[in-house]
Structure 1
Amino acid sequence: MTVVSVSMPEELLERIDEFSEEHGYTGRSEVIREAGRNLLGEFEDRRLEDRELMGVVTVVFDYETTTVEEKMMRLRHDHEGTVVSNFHSHVGGHHCMELFVLEGDLEEISTFVGKVRATRDTLTVDYSVLPVDDFGPLDDL
């Protein structure tokens, strides 16, 4: 196996080491390998290609020190064909949460998620994607 040198803040390395120990990994290399596989595989899932998809994206940010809320509003308008719903809520003392519900194909949803992730000053970005046709007819529920 090839050995790779990676630079990262000490705090992140400490968190990786703690995570490794708490979750039974053999070491930080195993954690980094799994994280890399997950990141690369996010939108490479062949099951998602050529299908109508639903996505949910959650963004948390500090509203007192950033312009993230304005940027989220601009993204919503720029992608109004994909964003079918948007919910804004205040959480904690000075944080906001934006929740987006998306419908579209893999390229449309991955483009939106990529732009959200690239938005400076977001604290967390979380999302899930699944094929809409996996639900089947309502009679089967």
Structure 2
Amino acid sequence: MERITISLDEELATAFDALIAERGYRNRSEAVRDLLRRELEAARQRGEADGQCVATLSYLYNHHQRELAERLTGLQHGHHDLTVSTLHAHLDHDHCIECVILRGPSARVRRFAESIMAESGVRHGCLNLISVEVDTAVQPHGHAPAHPHTAEHKHYRPRS
């Protein structure tokens, strides 16, 4: 691990310490590492148009909005290759929240998320996108020793 030293004016240091306490960091180093990872990831995403990602998309909507739930489901089915899983929860008599796990090409995931958040009646949409490296692995496995087979699967490793 490499050690660095930074200087902060008193006001900035006090504000940073308050943030550290609020978020539950054990020390300044962990907080700085997280801030750096976040900024490096944002810079990477701006510079890479064709990279792969995993992402979560969360949004709140009024389920009474005319045909909105059906449109949202239709959009997810239309992008089944990007949609891994969806969690749906009822907040009250009118509002639902959904969290969708996505993976695939970053540009396609971003366009899909934007299309969901642009639907009339969807509010408070938020996309959290993480760049990954994708490795394809072939590993033998089987149900019984007499019938082994190989299966190809992918590993998604965060880039930061």
Please give the range of the TM-score, normalised by the shorter of the 2 chains: 0.5 to 0.7
CA gap of 1:43–1:124, structure 2 versus 1, over 3 A, is farther
Provide structure 2 residue ranges, at least 5 long, that are not aligned to the other structure.
Answer: 1-41, 134-156
Question: What is the root-mean-square deviation of aligned Cα atoms in Å?
Answer: 2.4
Larger radius of gyration: 2
Q: Is the 8 A contact 1:63 1:95 kept in 2?
A: yes
Name the structure 2 match of 1:80. Answer: 80
1:45 aligned counterpart, secondary structure:
helix
The normalised TM-score by structure 2 is: 0.52
The normalised TM-score by structure 1 is: 0.59
Structure 1 or 2: more strand by fraction: 2
Superposed CA offset, 1:9-32 (max 9, x none): xxxxxxxxxxxxxxxxxxxxxxxx
Name the structure 2 match of 1:95. Answer: 95
Structure 1 or 2: more helix by fraction: 1
Name the structure 2 match of 1:123. Answer: 123
Quote the Cα distance in structure 1 between the aligned partners of 2:124 and 2:64. Answer: 16
Provide structure 1 residue ranges, at least 5 long, that are not aligned to the other structure.
Answer: 1-40, 137-141
Report which structure shows greater RCO (CA 8 Å, sep ≥6): 1
Q: State yes or no: 1:45 paired with 2:46.
A: yes
Q: Is the 8 A contact 2:45 2:131 kept in 1?
A: no
Q: Which amino acid aligns with 1:89?
A: A
Q: State yes or no: 1:135 paired with 2:158.
A: yes
CA gap of 1:79–1:54, structure 2 versus 1, over 3 A, is same
Quote the Cα distance in structure 1 between the aligned partners of 2:44 and 2:80. Answer: 21
